């Protein structure tokens, strides 16, 4: 799948921090049951790579990616764990070269038009706008749409159920990324019904 196809799967890409691999399978199943199939597991915990493997086993319909990729070693580890795609807060040449080498579709992060143009020069036209709210939010991304016509975005960072519709109404937004669909307390408590309900509400957000 291309990164654009992955970003079109659902209006929200859950950003997941998995502290205990034993919760990974049920977390993925709850999110998929609610309607969110594309999942980003951040490499911020010791269990993250095992969580990716566990989610792939437990939820065959999920499209599991690895986030917080900070360098080539993370890219290779994500690919080896079976991730379908990678997400990074930035767009360094080292990380993009490594992703090309191993054949991992990447959603790299950009925060300025120059960064977006540099990514586009490499043929990457679907990008993460990060951190979205701190960089001007939907108003900023709206202003990018006219000059950067070919580019499409997944704004992430500070996106909530309240402001997600503003982003999803923009012509250059394919989906938004956010952690709110899997609150840490709900994951820790094994409250899969709550996570499924949050997923269902997020999946129902409209893309214009
Ligand atoms: C992150 O890096 O954790 C993502 O940007 C998610 O941010 P959020 O918690 O504001 O949704």
Mean of the per-residue pLDDT values for the chain? 97
> Which residue, by CA, sits nearest to atom 1 of ligand 1?
157
Partners of residue 15 on adjacent β-strands:
40
Is the beta carbon of 159 within 6 A of some atom in ligand 1? yes
> Which residue, by CA, sits nearest to atom 11 of ligand 1?
178
Question: Ligand 1: which atom is nearest the Cα of residue 133?
Answer: 10
Question: Ligand 1: which atom is nearest the Cα of residue 89?
Answer: 2
Q: How is residue 21 annotated by DSSP?
A: G
Is the beta carbon of 178 within 6 A of some atom in ligand 1? yes
Q: How is residue 206 annotated by DSSP?
A: P
Position 206 scores a pLDDT of 82
Cite the active site residues: 40, 128
Is the beta carbon of 137 within 6 A of some atom in ligand 1? no
In angstroms, rounded to a whole number, what is the distance separating the alpha carbons of residues 67 and 141? 22
CA of 67 from ligand 1 middle (Å) equals 11
Percent of the chain clearing pLDDT 70 (strictly above): 99
User: How confident is the model over 19-67, as pLDDT tens digits?
Assistant: 999 999 999 999 999 999 999 999 999 999 999 999 999 999 999 999 9
Which whole number is the average pLDDT over 110-137?
Answer: 98
Contact criterion met (CB below 8 Å) for 106 and 92: no
Is the beta carbon of 67 within 6 A of some atom in ligand 1? no
User: How confident is the model over 2-24, as pLDDT tens digits?
Assistant: 999 999 999 999 999 999 999 99
Position 82 scores a pLDDT of 98
**Which domains are delineated in the chain?**
3-199 (3.20.20.70)
Nearest to 190 by CA among 30, 5, 17, 16: 30
pTM of the model: 0.97
């Amino acid at each position: 799948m291309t990164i654009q196809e992955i970003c079109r799967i659902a209006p929200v890409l859950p950003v997941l921090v998995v502290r205990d691999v034993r919760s990974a399978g049920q977390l993925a199943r709850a999110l998929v049951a609610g309607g969110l199939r594309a999942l980003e597991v951040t490499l911020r915990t010791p269990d993250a790579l095992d969580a990716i493997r566990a989610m792939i086993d437990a939820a065959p319909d999920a499209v599991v990616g690895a986030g917080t990729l900070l360098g080539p070693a993370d890219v290779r580890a994500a690919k080896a764990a079976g991730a379908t795609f990678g997400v990074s807060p930035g767009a360094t040449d080292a990380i993009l070269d490594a992703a090309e080498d191993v054949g991992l579709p990447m959603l790299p992060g950009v925060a300025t038009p120059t960064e977006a143009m540099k990514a586009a020069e490499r043929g990457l036209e679907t990008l993460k706008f990060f951190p979205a709210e701190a960089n001007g939010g939907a108003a900023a991304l709206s202003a990018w749409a006219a000059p950067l016509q070919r580019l499409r975005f997944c704004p992430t960072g500070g996106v909530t159920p309240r402001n997600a519709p503003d982003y999803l109404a923009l012509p250059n937004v394919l989906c938004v990324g956010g952690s709110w669909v899997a609150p840490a307390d709900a994951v820790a408590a094994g409250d899969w019904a709550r996570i499924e309900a949050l997923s269902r509400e997020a999946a129902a957000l409209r893309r214009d």
